[in-house]
Amino acid sequence: MSETVLDVHNLEAGYEPGVPIVRGASITVRKGEIVVVLGPNGAGKSSFIKAIAGLVPITGGSVFLDGQDITTAPAHTMVRLGLAFVPQTENIFPLMSVEDNLRVACGILERRDIPARIEEMYAAFPDLVRQRRTAAGNLSGGQRQMLAVARALIVHPKVLVLDEPSAGLSPKFVSAVFEMLAGIRKSGVTILLVEQNAKAALAIGDRAYVLVEGKDRHEGVASELWNDPVVAELYLGQRPQRQQGGAA
């Protein structure tokens, strides 16, 4: 078994004191894995992943990244610590060019390495090259998502964390985004993602957790979880949502 990159233990988090949304959730992500966090609407998936990224106040538990305690690290220090987060919406700077969107995220890189690193991102995401001078707000939904992921990857993160990367995309783009994530994992990047689109996420994931009412209730190998009756039960007697890709 390979080494643990991200270790979240008994996490409690919420926006208001005394009103936890995440109530003791634990997950581990090992090097090179894609780990998926599933759960019914309102399970606290988004808050859980935002808390890990330092965006929702943590009231209990711990988050370790590569052995380092990052539980109380402020959000802006996360990229330096090795955690790059891609929010679900508003994950680009709409009025800045594609290139400036990438460049503004390079604060932790050596100045002389930045141009080459940007070119590497263009090589990995060829759709972005033609649009490098375009204001990011003019990109299509799928291209925006690519830019947001490229922006996160540019700093060589130890783990890439995504909040519902397929949300709001048309079905055509949904498969493109998941193919992109599978490709990124092949290049050696560890990925943690939260998804509503259970089927597509499980298809590319290695392991998955089911989060219900702010707690991790079930864990399993991604390919088996789709047919796991426990999962169906946790989704309140339904199958995991068979979405055609639309947002929840």
Partner 1 sequence: MSLQFIVDGLLTGSMIGLGAIGVTLTYSILRFSNFAHGDFMAWGTYATLAVVSAIGATFGKVAPIGPLSFGWPLLVALVVGMAFTALLALLLDKVLFSRLRSQGQAIIVVMASFGASMALRSLLEFTFTSRPTYFSRAIQIAMPVGFGIRITPDQIALLALTAVLVLGVHLLMTRTQTGRSMQALSQNAALARIVGIDVAKVVRVTWIVGGALACVAGVMIGILVQIRPFMGFDMLLPMFAAAILGGIGSIPGAVLGGLIIGLAEAGAVQLIGAEWRAAVSFIILMAVLFVRPIGLFGVRER
- Scanning the structure block, which residue is given the tokens 């599933």? 38
Options 88, 91, 143, 196; binder of partner 1; rule CB under 8 A: 91
Burial label for 55, CB within 10 Å (0-12, 13-18, 19+), is middle
A 10 A CB-CB count for 93 gives: 17
x/- letters, 124..143, toward partner 1 (CB under 8 A): -------------x------
- Do you know the residue count of the chain? 248
Select 68 or 227, whichever has its Cβ closest to partner 1: 68
Under rule CB under 8 A, residue 73 binds partner 1: no
Under rule CB under 8 A, residue 87 binds partner 1: yes
Select 124 or 135, whichever has its Cβ closest to partner 1: 135
Residue 91 CA to residue 145 CA, distance in Å, equals 8
Burial label for 6, CB within 10 Å (0-12, 13-18, 19+), is buried
Span near partner 1 by CB under 8 A; candidates 17-25, 92-100, 118-126, 217-225: 92-100
Options 45, 151, 185, 207; binder of partner 1; rule CB under 8 A: 151
Residue 210 CA to residue 216 CA, distance in Å, equals 6
Select 191 or 210, whichever has its Cβ closest to partner 1: 191
Total site size for partner 1, rule CB under 8 A: 29
Select 93 or 226, whichever has its Cβ closest to partner 1: 93
Residues 6+ apart with CB under 8 A from 144: 91, 92, 136
Question: Which tokens sit at 184?
Answer: 């990124």
Instruction: Report the site for partner 1 in 46-65 (rule: CB under 8 A).
Output: 53-55
Under rule CB under 8 A, residue 76 binds partner 1: yes
Span near partner 1 by CB under 8 A; candidates 18-26, 70-78, 119-127, 220-228: 70-78
Select 162 or 204, whichever has its Cβ closest to partner 1: 162
Q: Are 194 and 162 in contact (CB under 8 A)?
A: yes
x/- letters, 98..117, toward partner 1 (CB under 8 A): --x--xxxxxx---------
CA distances from 39 to 162, 176, 193, 205, 246 (A): 15, 23, 12, 15, 16
Three-class secondary structure of residue 31 per DSSP: coil
Options 69, 80, 129, 224; binder of partner 1; rule CB under 8 A: 80
Residue numbers of the site for partner 1 (CB under 8 A)?
53-55, 74-80, 85, 87, 90-96, 100, 103-108, 137, 151, 155
